[in-house]
Amino acid sequence: MRQDQLIFDEGRPGRRARGQAPSEPVDTGDLPAESLRTTPPILPEVSELQVVRHYTRLSQKNFSIDTQFYPLGSCTMKYNPRAGNALAMLPGFLDRHPWAATAQSQGYLACVHELQDMLRDVTGLAGVSLTPMAGAQGEFAGVAMIRAYHRARGDHGRTEILVPDAAHGTNPATAVMCGYKVRELPTDGEGDVDLQALREAVGPRTAGIMLTNPSTLGVFERRIRQMADIVHEAGGLLYYDGANLNAILGKSRPGDMGFDVIHINLHKTFSTPHGGGGPGAGAIGASERLLPYLPIPMAGRDENGYRWLTEVDCPHSIGRLSAFMGNAGVILRAYVYARMLGAEGMVRVAEFATLNANYLMTRLRAEGFQVWFPQRRASHEFIISLKREAKELNVTAMDVAKRLLDYGYHAPTAYFPLLVPECLLIEPTETETREELDGFIAALVAIRQEARRDPELVRSAPHDLPVRRLDEVRAARELDLCWTPD
Amino acid sequence: MRQDQLIFDEGRPGRRARGQAPSEPVDTGDLPAESLRTTPPILPEVSELQVVRHYTRLSQKNFSIDTQFYPLGSCTMKYNPRAGNALAMLPGFLDRHPWAATAQSQGYLACVHELQDMLRDVTGLAGVSLTPMAGAQGEFAGVAMIRAYHRARGDHGRTEILVPDAAHGTNPATAVMCGYKVRELPTDGEGDVDLQALREAVGPRTAGIMLTNPSTLGVFERRIRQMADIVHEAGGLLYYDGANLNAILGKSRPGDMGFDVIHINLHKTFSTPHGGGGPGAGAIGASERLLPYLPIPMAGRDENGYRWLTEVDCPHSIGRLSAFMGNAGVILRAYVYARMLGAEGMVRVAEFATLNANYLMTRLRAEGFQVWFPQRRASHEFIISLKREAKELNVTAMDVAKRLLDYGYHAPTAYFPLLVPECLLIEPTETETREELDGFIAALVAIRQEARRDPELVRSAPHDLPVRRLDEVRAARELDLCWTPD
Amino acid sequence: MPFIPHTEDDIRDMLAAIGVGDVESLFDEIPDGLRSGRLPPMLPALQEMQVTRLMHERATRDLVGPCFIGAGAYRHHVPAAVWQLATRGEFYSAYTPYQAEASQGTLQLIYEYQSMMCGLMAMDVSNASLYDGASGLGEAMLMAVRANQRVRSGRILVADSLHPVYRRVAETVVGNQGVILESLPLDAGSGVVDTAALGAIDDVVAVVIPQPNFFGRLEDVDRLVDWAHGGGALVIGVVNPLAMALLKPPGEWGEAGADIACGDGQPLGVPLSSGGPYYGFLCCRRSMVRRMPGRIVGRTVDLDGRTGYTLTLQAREQHIRRSRATSNICTNQGLVVTASTIHMALLGAEGLRRVAATCHARTRELTAALSTLPGVAPLHAGPCFHERALDLGQPAAPVLERLAARGILGGYALGQHDPALGDAILVCATECIEASDIAAYRDALAESLQEAA
Amino acid sequence: MPFIPHTEDDIRDMLAAIGVGDVESLFDEIPDGLRSGRLPPMLPALQEMQVTRLMHERATRDLVGPCFIGAGAYRHHVPAAVWQLATRGEFYSAYTPYQAEASQGTLQLIYEYQSMMCGLMAMDVSNASLYDGASGLGEAMLMAVRANQRVRSGRILVADSLHPVYRRVAETVVGNQGVILESLPLDAGSGVVDTAALGAIDDVVAVVIPQPNFFGRLEDVDRLVDWAHGGGALVIGVVNPLAMALLKPPGEWGEAGADIACGDGQPLGVPLSSGGPYYGFLCCRRSMVRRMPGRIVGRTVDLDGRTGYTLTLQAREQHIRRSRATSNICTNQGLVVTASTIHMALLGAEGLRRVAATCHARTRELTAALSTLPGVAPLHAGPCFHERALDLGQPAAPVLERLAARGILGGYALGQHDPALGDAILVCATECIEASDIAAYRDALAESLQEAA
Ligand SMILES: Cc1ncc(COP(=O)(O)O)c(C=O)c1O
Ligand SMILES: Cc1ncc(COP(=O)(O)O)c(C=O)c1O
């Protein structure tokens, strides 16, 4: 009955949380009048309790790992250990200034250095930099490194990056940000990249290829070694988009597959929280030949202890990607996670993520859902297509996704990859129980039943959430992006 | 659609949160076989994510200050500052062992000592002990002190404690726990204790009187000085139940009124959280003559710094009420609150708690609700009676209370004090905005409207909560107090 | 006024609505002499930033190295999830769940807690908590007096191996109601109740048996229970709940089991925190539930037949029964119970068992290491759980001070309670103690002992 | 395997359902040579208890006294409520709000954030965040290139008073797309852009103006904006958002205001935390919104006409537009924005203004106190916001080391970027600095300077 307002609407002129700001009135000192603001910014005027209540209530309107099964394909929504949060937020870490002297940074640097080494070892690369702040920035760094490599060799004719059609949108977008043209590669009927097409596409213009393996189609690229040979023989390099590393962590190493540079989404495989959209961390690993180009700073170690490696140590680096050291607090969380797993735990991640995915896929197929690559193993995720349901019942993948919300499950990724019609990309992760998977299967079966009996119920879902289906067209057409006092 | 199970039901044999216990298997060492447990205790067998998800979801089923207006009379449900929680949980405080040496206790003892002094000053008593763990234990300590006082004087004939009929249940229960008989005093038509009845009740059997002021009827006991004189002249002592101290904090001091011993609910007036039922802290203050009997330990100070005062320093103390120093972490939270208020802030607490209560009372009366003492000022709380509605519409105070939940407001205290029929005891506290009060008034008006139009709607409320009205009779008759595997 | 939301406009409008000119008028029923003009000077008000700095400084000041003190409060690993969940606003800032429909979170959790406690203690019913272990023992005694209707003497036998502070606190709680605490003597050499000396028992309400006892030693609980029951007395077991994951629980002591089990819940997920807030747990036989103090949650159904939870048997409590209530307790230790329930769910039976066994192993390692030092020897023969009394061969208090100066909290001085034990300390090692901590202790103790010599 | 819930039964049953004999079979599509037999030796797995102890030790090791370093990251008071709310599981463990109906909490919050940022910057629209201030400046430049369609040169003028690391990062971001960064020179004496030397401007995409600048000094933003606009260039303001509660915001610079405002949100509720996670904010004119990188939330209605929030203008983004997106950004800094939004709501306009003014006052006090020491003098004339460059009269780096040994983080050595400034440091005092800290710094500096002499 009680509608939640905007925090602005809850304000009243002159109200504020008085314990939070200095009690002295403002003295602008020697600041010249013309440099000063003349009207105060429009910000909420609310009490401390109002703030706490408002945002506590807002939070309750979210689905999250801590409250729901969240099988969002490609996103690896697994449990984010609470210890990571507690330990990264110890006062000693929170109060550490990024420019603090080396002697006052040994505790933090030790974590960075050890995580660099662990990630290097589990991916089979030669070195790792933790500075990129998300997967896409990792991709940027990686492709920029490829570019720097060709440039350093005077190899200026390489202007293209190859990207499979199933690739995540960040791949082509990144290639363009690095000044490349994108050339798409088709997928064959079994979900692998079309090898013939690859052979035809490579050449002296090929700077490199960006691959996700297992791919975003949920299957392992079986001819990866041949692909690596083809690209390398043509003088190109291989970029590994590590968004799906969870599927093979410790079971198969990108370095062994022939990749020259990779990124790892620490906010996926290493279980740092997604935070409703970030922050993440896109650690980047390089083979021997790309090592000199890794972004700075990195943690190094010499006889005096740990220290930062900067421009001085890494003159060929592609440079800095952030003012300081990337998302340091995220790195600490990933470090805690990695330390709790150890080598054995990392392997288990892949094993149980894969077990859960294959179980779910097998059971859904048995229930009559169309698994898109039925002849393939699922990696840590797989695709079902609701093409048939869409045609017969006029109920789309989106409708089913929305109805799942009513059942208390977050929807899988819908309509990605783009090449599969009416698809749901389902990734259960290793931290979910079998019972949770069974419940999800039961919900999908029940919804299909509903779609047969009462399709409108499904088409107009969700029904039990804070809002019903939103008018996205209006949102984009009648742009309302900012509150203003009326 | 998704029903929350018991955590036990979510378990499976052999499952556990493996990061949380030592990895070595159990070795019972030299423990004799006959002392060992032979079957494991029945406890949940769940993963870490299951625990986090289960209890996060459970929490969302609660109303709380952080999510709702909570005008629960006599309970002082005001904002619990988040700083108190953060600061009391600093590692240095959490890891401090209660038996740590004095030299390793100076930081904590300083807080205890300063809070003792602040509470002494704001209540006008001579000394304070923070050791009682809730209001009722404070009452126990206070009445035990009264008993110790009489006993020390050889005054053994005093076997009765006087308690007004409007008193909180803990008052008579405490008197009995201290070995006294309870004698009830009637209330007069204006909400004050019947002075004539008091005069008749006191005598050589009177050990003391327990009073709440402002009383649980929401009004200030105007003839408190006369009452004090009557009781004192009869040789009795006055106990102040400080549950309502919020109403007069810094405006009027129990010590000045003539009270000999008081307790303060730090979890009310000093805004430590109620925690879904505790922990609280029932600081106790004493006048000069009762000082020697205060419960131990207390913080003292000498030239070497702070130290604990124990049996050695306080040979006449009524003793210890807990194994250590009461609810130390609660005391730290109260200390933070008191320091943020200072003397000025304490006075403001009373002023705005009273302003909110009187505003709400005035507005509700204007809307036609029956204010029980219309001729009186409200203290920080007041009573309305729904006697008329109950009779005319067959909708009880309980029905209205339950329906308020649907409107997103916690219900006021219902059916207490026992002497007012169909009553709601309403305490808004000083931290609520005027808009929140207005919304609450509107809800009460709307519910009365509903009661006229569709009384069944109100009688069968709540409708929008996780459960509808619960069968309390069945709960008490078919006792189900413990899960067992079926 | 950091937490008051009123604007000048609000104040003006609200006063106008009430019909008074100023806030002071709202206090006009308070007699003049009682309206305090001004408070004595107090510490000045601080902004949150300032009090934050102050508290950080004070918290840091008290921090020291490894802690080998136990004696009723134990440092255990508490999973980070426990208090992050327990301090969620919906748990932290709710009241006692009197409005059941709006408190299903807390109520279901307490029902789960009760079930876990029953499991751990092998008892039928549990309440929702008392203040702490020591005061809870007092309540348990009063309950025994109510329950043992055949005995009107008020006499309760308390093992001398019980934590001495527990006995004192219980005395404070029950002392005004004619309950008399008598001693069940100790065998000095073994540090447990002298079962050989047990005579016939008569006209005794209850016998209080600790397990493990104050010295960390294990009592012969089977024998004691059967002996007490044989004489018509009830048995109150005072136990460390963590130990009950490994040791025989009160419900299985002797032929018939203890009648009441109580103790402090602190070892189950509650930080040391200077001694509180902890919580007292209390379990008993089904037949005694109506004699129980404190809140109890029951499972029931709602109007639609759906499962729900509610406070039940409230007729035992002060807010209903007033002077005839089973206790005056109202506010209990809810939030700590919330944390503890989450802790127990995370650890489970196997986790708690491992923690308990590791504590036992570490303590054996500790006492073995310390006993290699000249003059240091265990005070008692026989197995201990995770505490042991050590004779240092010289006055203990100054040695502990020297250890503290070296950053080691070395133990609890037993001379505080028994001057005859002036040379002895009680040491404890939990699963948090590592081999390097033990080595550091041994080295520091060696130095501290020599300094005196 | 601390976080894996599978029991032996689960594994057996699930493998049976799949129809394979063991888990290894699930990896049978991976070619043999690529299935790694074993990982190289790694640091051993730790229980939560062990990693907790390790991290406590490491965190404590890095703790020092008062911090007078700024240079892009500032220590401010962050209300305790901010991160207690932001780390609630529902915010902490949610994904990007692609399913709007199941993400109204995050979506409404971002809408509020956008509104607050627009308010603070006096701009029309804000996105939902970029990675940080420095990389965000790179995105702002690319956006300017897209938006300024009359200029195809790719030339961007960057004030030499911009934070040098920001310039380097922006260079990394834009360097591969033919954007050329050129310098707008500094007046050495005043530490601001030499407006006297401004010539005519031509064929320039945009001009980048910091306020306050790297040296804490205030630029003549009005003049610079009008000059840039006069030459057909867009203006990108790089500002400290906290300062904008006190100083003229970008939207009001000059006649027409800046076109783009960006910077780092760290001063608004984000702990120092070794440099991140922070967030980059980005605001612009309404007319440029379709050129913007990053997510944007819009307000709309649901099927019942009820207000709701959703991601909008997604056709700009990589997941829709792929190679023609406005940026490759996907994951941004959502949780930090969550905290920052709560922080801004708690402080409000007046609170932020007070914080900003107090920082300014403390910095004046600090620089006055330090300037009393022989050889120490401000490097630039004129007012500063909350940082100032000081000439120490001797090489600065060793002095800072000696200060650190005394527990004082004394500032940022300017010689890192300009060897000519080898004797100079940049100092900063925020509202967290008390008078006693300043006195301690002055005394420690006096000693440290003398030690060298
Ligand atoms: C396959 C793939 N690649 C790249 C990314 C981009 O990573 P980020 O969102 O951390 O920038 C994602 C994230 O959704 C992804 O799923
Ligand atoms: C008037 C009054 N007295 C005493 C008490 C008992 O305090 P506590 O619950 O802290 O034991 C209360 C609490 O509800 C109360 O309202």
Domain boundaries, chain B: 83-341, 349-472
B124-183 residues touching C, CB cutoff 8 A = 124, 133-137, 139-140, 144, 147, 168-170, 172-179, 182
| Distance from C-alpha of C102 to C-alpha of A170, rounded to nearest angstrom | 46
pLDDT number for residue C63: 75
A129, β-bridge pairs: A284
Q: What angle do CA D172, D175, D176 make, to 5 degrees?
A: 115
Backbone angles phi and psi of A207, in degrees to 5: -80, -40
Low-confidence winner among A211-215, A283-287, B52-56, D449-453 (lowest mean pLDDT): D449-453
CA atoms within 13 A on the CB side of C42: 29
Mean pLDDT of D6-28: 97
Touching check for D84 and chain B: CB below 8 Å? yes
Residues C102-131 pLDDT 10s: 999 999 999 999 999 999 999 999 999 999
The token pair at D37 is 């037999």
Cβ(D397)–Cβ(A103) below 8 Å: no
Give the burial class of C189: count Cβ atoms within 10 A of its Cβ; 0-12 exposed, 13-18 middle, 19 or more buried: exposed
Q: How far is CA D49 from the centre of its chain?
A: 34
Contacts of C400 (CB under 8 A, 6+ apart): B101, C410, C411, C413, C425
Q: Tokens at residue D144, please?
A: 């300017």
Question: What is the C-alpha separation between B151 and A357, in angstroms, rounded?
Answer: 75
Task: Give the binding-site residues of ligand 1, using a 6 Å CB cut-off.
Answer: A 74-75, 134-136, 168, 170, 212, 216, 241, 243, 265, 280, 282; D 330-331
Going by pLDDT thresholds of 50, 70 and 90, the confidence category of residue C453 is low
Q: What are residue A201's phi and psi, to 5 degrees?
A: -80, -35
pLDDT of D115 reads: 98
pLDDT of amino acid D64: 75
Which atom, in ligand 1's list, is nearest to the CA of A138?
Answer: 11
Would you say residue C37 has pLDDT above 80? Answer: no
Closest-CA distance of chain B to residue A447, Å: 12
- For B327-386, how does the pLDDT look when each residue is reduced to its tens digit (9 = 90+)? 999 999 999 999 999 999 999 999 999 999 999 999 999 999 999 999 999 999 999 999
Distance from CA of C2 to the nearest CA of A (A): 4
H/E element, D106: helix D104-121
- Give tens-digit pLDDT for C230-255: 999 999 999 999 999 999 999 999 99
Q: Which fold has domain A349-472?
A: Aspartate Aminotransferase, domain 1 (3.90.1150)
User: Does D234 score more than 70 pLDDT?
Assistant: yes
Give contacts of D279 with chain A, Cβ < 8 Å.
279
What pLDDT, on a 0 to 100 scale, did the predictor assign at position B385?
Answer: 98
Q: Are D182 and D232 spatial neighbours (Cβ–Cβ below 8 Å)?
A: no
Q: Is the pLDDT assigned to residue D453 strictly greater than 80?
A: no
Mutation target for C interface from D3, D7, D48: give the one with most C CBs within 10 A. D48
pLDDT of residue D165: 98
Measure the N-to-C terminal CA separation of chain C; round to a whole number of Å: 59
Continuous segment of H or E residues that includes residue C377:
strand C377-378
| CA of residue C181 relative to chain centroid, distance | 21
pLDDT tens for each residue of C336-351: 999 999 999 999 999 9
Is the CB of residue B138 below 6 angstroms from any atom belonging to ligand 2?
no
* Contact call for residues D338 and D103 (beta carbons, < 8 A): no
pLDDT tens digit sequence for A318-350: 999 999 999 999 999 999 999 999 999 999 999
Q: Exposed (0-12), middle (13-18) or buried (19+): which is B160, by Cβ within 10 Å?
A: buried
The single-letter code of the amino acid at C438 is I
**What is the residue-averaged pLDDT of chain B?**
97
Helix H or strand E segment including D134: helix D133-147
Residue C375's pLDDT is 96
The pLDDT value given to residue D62 = 83
Instruction: Tally C-beta pairs within 8 A across B and C.
Output: 703
Structure confidence at residue B302 as a pLDDT band (50, 70, 90): very high
Distance (Å) from CA C269 to ligand 2 centroid: 27
Contact D432 C77 (CB under 8 A): no
Burial class (CB in 10 A: 0-12, 13-18, 19+), B136: buried
- Tell me the C-alpha to C-alpha distance, in Å, between residue A376 and each of A166, A216, B336, D31: 16, 14, 61, 14
pLDDT, residue C65, reads 84
CB A175 within 8 A of CB A143: yes
Instruction: Identify the residue whose C-alpha is closest to ligand 2 atom 6.
Output: B135
How far apart (Å, rounded) are the C-alpha atoms in residues B257 and C35?
A: 10
**Residue B2 confidence (pLDDT) above 80:** no
Q: Are A97 and D64 in contact (CB under 8 A)?
A: no
**In which residue are the tokens 């955590």 written?**
B7
pLDDT of residue C39: 87
DSSP states of B350-377 = HHHHHHHHHHHHHHHHHTT-EESSTTSP
pLDDT, tens digit (0-9, with 9 covering 90-100), for C88-108: 999 999 999 999 999 999 999
Pick the CATH number of A83-341 from 3.40.640.10, 1.10.1370.40, 3.30.230.30, 3.30.1550.10: 3.40.640.10
Q: What is the largest CA-CA distance in chain C?
A: 82
Beta strands in B10-123 (DSSP E): none
Question: Six-digit token pair at D238?
Answer: 């790089």
Phi, psi for B467 (deg, rounded to 5): -135, 160
Per-chain mean pLDDT for chain D? 96
Is C328 within 8 Å of B140 when comparing Cβ atoms? Answer: yes
By CB atoms closer than 10 A (0-12, 13-18, 19+), residue A174 is buried
Residue B375 CB-density burial (10 A; 0-12 exposed, 13-18 middle, 19+ buried): exposed
- For the four alpha carbons of C337, C343, C348 and C354, in that order, the dihedral sign comes to negative
Q: Do C87 and D87 touch (CB under 8 A)?
A: no
* Helical segments of B60-169, H only: 82-88, 91-94, 106-123, 135-152
* Predicted complex ipTM exceeds 0.85: yes
CA–centroid distance, C59 to ligand 1, in Å, is 42
Reading the block at residue B207, the tokens are 């050990």
d(C-alpha C277, C-alpha B275), whole Å:
11
Atom of ligand 2 nearest to the CA of B268: 10
Taking Cα atoms as reference points, which of B38, D249, B418 lies closest to residue A36? D249
Please list the ranges in chain A whose pLDDT falls under 70: 1-3
Q: What residues contact D2, with CB distance under 8 A and at least 6 apart?
A: A81, A340, A341, A345, B17, B18, B19, B20, B48, D47, D48
Whether the per-residue pLDDT at B1 is higher than 70: the answer is: no
What top-level class would CATH report for the domain C80-342?
A: alpha beta
| pLDDT number for residue B264 | 98
- Mean pLDDT value of segment B293-305: 97
pLDDT at res. C451: 87
Q: Find the Cα–Cα–Cα–Cα dihedral D64, D65, D71, D72, rounded to 10°.
A: 70
**Chain D residues near residue C84 by CB distance under 8 angstroms:** 87
How near does any CA of chain B get to the CA of D85, in Å?
9
What percent of chain C has a predicted confidence (pLDDT) above 70?
A: 99
pLDDT tens-digit readout, B81-119: 999 999 999 999 999 999 999 998 999 999 999 999 999
Q: What pLDDT is attached to residue C68?
A: 98
Per DSSP, the three-state class of B262 is strand
- CATH numeric code, D348-452: 3.90.1150.10
For the segment D184-228, what is each residue's pLDDT rounded down to a tens digit? 999 999 999 999 999 989 999 999 999 999 999 999 999 999 999
This prediction's pTM: 0.98
Q: CATH 3.90.1150.10 spans which residues of chain C?
A: 348-452
Angle value at C-alpha C165, between C159 and C171, nearest 5 degrees: 75
Question: Is A339's Cβ below 8 Å from some Cβ in D?
Answer: yes
Q: How many CB pairs under 8 A join C and D?
A: 25
User: What is the tens place of the pLDDT at every residue in C251-303?
Assistant: 999 999 999 999 999 999 999 999 999 999 999 999 999 999 999 999 999 99
Cα angle, residue B121 at apex, residues B119 and B127 outer, rounded to 5°:
70
Over residues B306-336, the pLDDT tens digits come to 999 999 999 999 999 999 999 999 999 999 9
